[in-house]
């Protein structure tokens, strides 16, 4: 599969993710010496592990993170 622009990539994967029941987010961007984007990476919006930072241990807030 080939894409002609980064907007096509985002639109395709955004639609795919929406159909599967999740969303995407941009994780990182790599630029060349001329400050043009060489590549970027997308990930599930639920990736990672929740690290609680609050001090209310008895009533923790729910998290959507799923370690995917």
How confident is the model over 7-22, as a mean pLDDT?
90
Listed in sequence order, the residues at least 6 apart from 61 whose beta carbon sits closer than 8 Å to its beta carbon are 52, 54
Tokens of 57: 């241990």
Q: DSSP states of 24-65 as a string?
A: EEEEEEEE-TTS-EEEEEEEETT-S------S-SSSPPP---
Q: What is the pLDDT of residues 22-65, one digit of tens each?
A: 888 888 888 888 888 888 888 888 777 777 777 777 777 776 66
Mean of the pLDDT values across residues 3-18? 90
Q: What is the pLDDT of residue 12?
A: 93
Q: Place 66 in a pLDDT band, splitting at 50, 70 and 90.
A: low
pTM of the shown model: 0.62
């Amino acid at each position: 599969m080939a894409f002609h622009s980064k907007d096509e990539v985002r639109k395709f994967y955004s639609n795919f993710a929406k159909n599967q029941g999740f969303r995407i987010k941009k994780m990182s961007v790599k630029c060349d010496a001329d400050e043009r984007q060489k590549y970027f990476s997308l990930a599930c919006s639920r990736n990672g592990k929740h690290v609680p930072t609050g001090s209310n241990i008895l009533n923790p807030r729910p998290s959507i993170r799923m370690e995917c």
